[in-house]
Amino acid sequence: MAYDRRTKWYSEHTTNFKTGLRLFWVLINYCSPFTTTVGPKSIDFKLSQRDFTRIRLKEYLGMGLSSRVYKIDWENTSSAIKVFNSGYDLSNEVEALQFLNRGNFSNIPTYIAYDDNSIIIYPVCERFGDKFQVSHALQLLQLLELIHKEQIYHQDVRPENILLDSDNNRLVLVDWGSAIRITDRRKRYTYEGTIMFASPNILRGNFGSYVPSASNDLHSFVRTMYILHNLSEMLAIPEGICHQKHG
């Protein structure tokens, strides 16, 4: 039903099965745009052991399994603050971003600051929607090649972590909380990526301990590219078992 302000009457609209499923998901899913609440208007950010600053949250940008993201102004620069769920250890993501920023890697967020519960990053990005291009795929592929040369593996390449810096038409790979930097090839690790995008090697091992390799990220890359390239043909996938992280 839709309300026409001119006639002050409601009118019925019909739709196809695919669109109907999408609308139904929006109405009932806890993290859909319809049911997600904006949350707090401001947040206290810890500058030191004794000092706090109150940051006004300008806009709700989205949520993941471990955090919510808001748009803020930080030192007169439009930025994003990632507020993590209580008890989440954000140190791995902070260390990964600091290392990559020191190496001047492109196509990743710029780390600004963090406290016990939040990370402030730049730039403010958006979902690709129908703006995804071949040039963006090449940017991601080049980034993966560069980090793999440094023995760094993202472990969670998927559409939700591929964002657009619209001011520069630049792809940005986010969510580095599962990233690993290998210093000992004899050591085995626990897979912490998203189940739906795990490589055959990880699936065959039943998500047991493994040695990360470039092929794992590249398999996730191929699946991600297929979804982003065929977005108009894909049903909206609710957050659930398919998007759960393992680990």
Radius of gyration, CA atoms only, the chain: 20
Taking CA 148 as the corner, what is the angle to CA 145 and CA 153, rounded to the nearest 5 degrees?
Answer: 120
Which residues are CB-neighbours of 221 under 8 A, at least 6 positions away? 140, 141, 144, 157
Q: Which of 69, 98, 108 is nearest to 85 (CA)?
A: 69
φ, ψ for residue 190, nearest 5 deg: -90, 135
Which residues are 119's β-sheet partners? 82, 114
Instruction: Please state whether beta strands 52-56 and 42-46 pair in parallel, antiparallel, or not at all (unpaired).
Output: antiparallel
Instruction: Flag whether 82 is marked binding.
Output: yes
3-state secondary structure of 31: coil
Per the annotation, binding residues for ATP are 82
Per the annotation, binding residues are 82
